[in-house]
């Protein structure tokens, strides 16, 4: 099963992707995670990506597309994948379409998680991430026992540089200009499901499952 999670930054894509990838036993492919890992390990890719990420800008299409193509051709994506944070531009969506045709794969569903702007700002600015195991918390909605340390591994919790308020605003403008048009694109392709993302995590998950199962019937 091949799925895409669409939605603004902070809408809950990563949170739902963890659950969906377990539920359907498919790899969770997050371009944001791939770039953050590259930044951390100091690779050439990381150095290039960091310049854009720190400003809340999109990494150029030619870089992102190459990485995703390579990732989709790995063995573990043979029977399905869950894309989180890709595509983010029309050009990326076209490139994905070509790649899927080449691999003889079809998209099952594109899930758009809908969340209003004020809520998105609150979710991003309150997000905290473990530096070691990368577990994601929210200071209000999913608080750790101790706000500085991870419940799971005792690693230090940090705020992502791009979750600071000024960068958050840039990311939302870029989302509206460059990524939102994909909703119409996938609607026309007949694969889009819009989900109310302003519910608790469990109910968002249930709605996504219902939408995907509907696809099967
Ligand atoms: P994205 O991957 O789309 O950027 P995340 O999954 O990281 O978003 O979620 C952003 C923040 O909002 C995180 O701190 C997460 O714990 C929190 N969050 C995710 N889903 C919900 C929800 N349904 N209700 C409240 N908070 C949520
Ligand atoms: P995310 O974790 O999905 O919010 O992504 C964090 C940052 O990584 C984004 O703000 C971009 O700078 C970069 N990024 C992630 N995915 C993409 C993509 N598909 N296209 C361009 N840039 C991306």
Q: Which domain holds residue 174?
A: 2-116+164-214
Distance CA 84, CA 40 (A): 20
Does the residue 142 lie in any domain? no
Place of tokens 């854009």: 52
Domain count, the chain: 1
pTM as predicted: 0.96
Does the residue 97 lie in any domain? yes
Distance CA 206, CA 146 (A): 29
pLDDT of residue 136: 96
Say whether 123 is catalytic: no
Coil, strand, or helix at residue 78? coil
Pocket test for ligand 1, best of 20, 84, 123 (most atoms within 8 A of CB): 123
**Which H or E run contains 214?**
helix 201-216
Residue 149's DSSP bridge partners are 146, 156
Say whether 19 is catalytic: no
pLDDT of residue 215: 59
Q: Other CB atoms closer than 10 Å to residue 60's CB: what's the count?
A: 13
Does the residue 129 lie in any domain? no
pLDDT of residue 217: 47
Ligand nearest to the CA of 134: 1
> CB within 6 Å of ligand 2 — which residues?
9, 31-32, 35, 52-53, 56-59, 64, 85-86, 88, 92, 162, 171
Does the residue 130 lie in any domain? no
CATH number where 23 lies: 3.40.50.300
CB within 8 Å of 22: residues ≥ 6 apart: none
In angstroms, what is the span from residue 216 Cα to ligand 2's centroid?
A: 30
Query: What is the pLDDT tens value at each position of the chain, 217 positions in all?
Result: 999 999 999 999 999 999 999 999 999 999 999 999 999 999 999 999 999 999 999 999 999 999 999 999 999 999 999 999 999 999 999 999 999 999 999 999 999 999 999 999 999 999 999 999 999 999 999 999 999 999 999 999 999 999 999 999 999 999 999 999 999 999 999 999 999 999 999 999 999 999 998 855 4
Say whether 88 is catalytic: yes
Does the residue 131 lie in any domain? no
Distance CA 170, CA 162 (A): 9
Query: Pairing relation of β-strands 136-138 and 127-130?
Result: antiparallel
Closest ligand 1 atom number to CA of residue 197: 23
**Atom 10 (ligand 1): residue with closest C-alpha?**
10
Pick the catalytic residue from 13, 50, 123, 128: 13
Structure tokens at 188: 């026309």
Does the residue 146 lie in any domain? no
Does the residue 204 lie in any domain? yes
Say whether 71 is catalytic: no
Pocket test for ligand 2, best of 88, 169, 173, 177 (most atoms within 8 A of CB): 88
Does the residue 141 lie in any domain? no
In angstroms, what is the span from residue 12 Cα to ligand 1's centroid?
A: 4
Say whether 160 is catalytic: yes
């Amino acid at each position: 099963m091949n799925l895409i999670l669409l939605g603004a930054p902070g809408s809950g894509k990563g949170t739902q992707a963890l659950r969906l990838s377990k539920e359907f036993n498919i790899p969770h492919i997050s371009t944001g995670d791939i770039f953050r890992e590259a930044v951390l390990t100091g690779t050439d890719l990381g150095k290039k990506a960091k310049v854009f990420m720190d400003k809340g800008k999109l990494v150029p299409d030619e870089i992102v597309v190459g990485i995703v193509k390579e990732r989709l051709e790995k063995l573990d994506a043979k029977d399905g994948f869950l894309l989180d944070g890709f595509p983010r531009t029309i050009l990326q969506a076209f490139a994905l379409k070509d790649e899927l045709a080449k691999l003889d794969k079809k998209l099952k569903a594109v899930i758009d998680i809908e969340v209003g702007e004020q809520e998105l700002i609150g979710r991003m600015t309150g997000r905290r991430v473990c530096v070691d195991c990368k577990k994601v918390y929210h200071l209000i909605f999913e608080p750790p026992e101790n706000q500085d340390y991870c419940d799971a591994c005792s690693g230090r919790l940090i705020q992502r540089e791009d979750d600071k308020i000024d960068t958050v605003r840039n990311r939302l403008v870029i989302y509206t200009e460059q990524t939102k048009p994909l909703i119409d694109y996938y609607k026309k392709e007949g694969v889009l499901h819009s989900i109310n993302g302003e519910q608790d995590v469990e109910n968002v998950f249930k709605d996504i499952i219902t939408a995907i199962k509907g696809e099967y019937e």
